[in-house]
Amino acid sequence: SAQLRSRYADNAGAEYIEQRMDKVNQYRDVYDNIALGDKLLELTEYALAEQKYELAKQTAAAIYFDGGKEQALAALVTLYEEWAVANAANETAAVDAAADQVAAAELIAQGDTAYAAGDLTGAKVFFMIALEKYTELNDTAQTEVLNGKMAALDEKQAEVDQQIAGAQLLEAEAALLMEEGQLAQAKEQLQKAKNVYQELGQDDKLEKIQGEMDLVDSQLGLPPEEAVSGNG
């Protein structure tokens, strides 16, 4: 919102705003990797979880984000504790192939659930781990099924990316219309983009575009009641 407003003030503070946005994205990367590590830890994928926690720690250290670094370190401590317990258990009993089959099937089920909820990234993680397990078990039938699921997932991701690109184009058109003073037309384009983001469940983008629409409403001089109904 600040970046958009700066355009109407000769880009005052634009460089600072861009720097802050870059830092926010880096902070988000730290938290995303920790969250992904947590999910992998729940699945007892310790080596993969370790990679994500280490990446979060390195990213946080690079941007002097002490809080994120401490959180990543704490996650690593928990990981190593659970990993040690798991290793001790594995020394006393061999992992049954049937148990691996059940675990892999559960991963596929969780991947299907994530896919149905629109969490394509999470679904891909589940499918990839399941694929690793079935590959180790030499289960060619299930690996073929999973390869088909991942191909469909990639196709869906491409569709989503295309829809997002279209919405971003609408936002760009709205920005040009605002510069030309065509506020009503700009709001129409923003509403179309908002509809796309709502359909895709892109909550972070919805918050951003709502700020842009609020700015248009303020310039149109709409009272709060009309502005709310206009944003639908």
Q: Taking Cα atoms as reference points, which of 198, 174, 171, 195 lies closest to residue 186?
A: 174
Predicted confidence at residue 216, as pLDDT, reads 83
Q: For residues 179 and 202, what is the distance between their CA atoms, to the nearest angstrom?
A: 26
pTM above 0.75, yes or no: no
Which tens digits make up the pLDDT trace of 108-166?
999 999 888 888 889 999 999 999 989 988 889 999 999 999 999 999 889 888 888 99
Tell me the CA distances in angstroms from 208 to 122, 161, 176, 200, 212, one per residue in order.
Answer: 24, 18, 17, 15, 7
Q: What is the pLDDT along the chain (232 residues), one digit of tens a residue?
A: 665 655 555 555 566 667 677 778 888 999 999 999 999 999 999 999 999 999 999 999 988 889 999 999 999 999 999 999 888 877 665 556 778 888 889 999 999 998 888 888 899 999 999 999 899 888 899 999 999 999 999 998 898 888 889 988 888 898 888 888 888 888 888 889 889 888 887 777 887 888 888 888 888 776 544 444 444 4
Query: Torsion angle of alpha carbons 27, 30, 34, 36, nearest 10°?
Result: 100
Predicted confidence at residue 60, as pLDDT, reads 92
